[in-house]
Amino acid sequence: MTSRSYVAGAALSAIGFALLVVAHYLGLFVAPREAMMGDVGRILYVHVPTAWGALLFYLGAFVAAIGSLWSGRRGWDAATTAMVEVGTVMTFLLLVQGSLWARPTWGTYWTWDPRLTTSAVLAAAFGVVLLLRRLIDQPARRATATAVATIVAFVDVPIVYFSVKWWNSLHQPVSSRQTIDSPMMQPLLIAAVAVLLLGIGLSVLRWRVELARLLAEEAAPDLPDAPAPLDLSGASGAPRG
């Protein structure tokens, strides 16, 4: 099981990475310049797939968290962690790319835009899930806490999005076939597939590590009991001082 999943994870990551190189070659050198934004617009080919990927892996983590809570099995717990981690990495990348894109086009690194703000809230909410996980030693309690916090954080996604949307919005509408011309569509789709494969590959690899860690933790002998604190009050219970 382990070696096959390792090969699968490594192969998917490698294919994803190779496709990413192809997509960016097409995006940077072949695709036409964006009419309004010029070459800056080419960041689209990495930004939009990252956004799709982040949401998709949070969705995957949400499903895995329900599975973990339902079945109590380690595999689901490890999968939840793996996908929350991949999603969080993508969200942080998304924020960096978005800021870099926003500066030349909107004139600011940061604004009250629904998708921008939602991404920041997501990065915080899911980042804390990973932190929470590190701080709990007992395996069953840790699995429950991870699953529950992931579910609660994911449910927040649409609420944050719509609440911020009612404030002012600056972001261009969601990119789709209708808003993107076909010569730009090809590198975008290749990049999307590349990010998806890379994400799945990394998730599988991360899942293996987490599962191995959980199994090792279970196999390890318990720590010896802490020594009893020194009794300085005297065995006879005589009053101190």
Contact with another protein (CB under 8 A) among 166, 223, 230, 238: 166
- Total number of residues binding another protein (CB under 8 A)? 30
The residue (of 44 and 84) whose beta carbon lies closer to another protein is 84
Contact with another protein (CB under 8 A) among 8, 15, 59, 132: 132
Contact with another protein (CB under 8 A) among 97, 105, 111, 144: 144
**Whole-angstrom distance, CA of residue 237 vs CA of residue 241:** 12
**Whole-angstrom distance, CA of residue 165 vs CA of residue 52:** 19
217 binds another protein (CB under 8 A): no
61 binds another protein (CB under 8 A): no
Q: Which stretch binds another protein (CB under 8 A): 15-23, 45-53, 154-162, 213-221?
A: 154-162
63 binds another protein (CB under 8 A): no
The residue (of 20 and 160) whose beta carbon lies closer to another protein is 160
Contact with another protein (CB under 8 A) among 18, 124, 174, 209: 124
CA angle, residues 24, 30, 35, in degrees to nearest 5 = 100
**Whole-angstrom distance, CA of residue 234 vs CA of residue 228:** 15
The residue (of 64 and 147) whose beta carbon lies closer to another protein is 147
* CB-based contacts of 239, cutoff 8 Å, min separation 6: none
What's the Cα-to-Cα distance from 23 to each of 32, 43, 91, 114, 186, rounded to whole Å?
Answer: 14, 12, 20, 28, 8
145 binds another protein (CB under 8 A): yes
Contact with another protein (CB under 8 A) among 43, 86, 164, 198: 164
Diameter over CA atoms, the chain = 89
218 binds another protein (CB under 8 A): no
Q: Which stretch binds another protein (CB under 8 A): 90-98, 159-167, 180-188, 218-226?
A: 159-167
Nearest approach, Cβ of residue 132 and another protein (Å): 6
Contact with another protein (CB under 8 A) among 111, 163, 169, 175: 163
Residues that bind another protein (CB under 8 A): 69, 117, 121, 124-125, 128, 131-132, 135-136, 140-141, 143-145, 147-149, 151-153, 155-156, 159-160, 162-164, 166-167
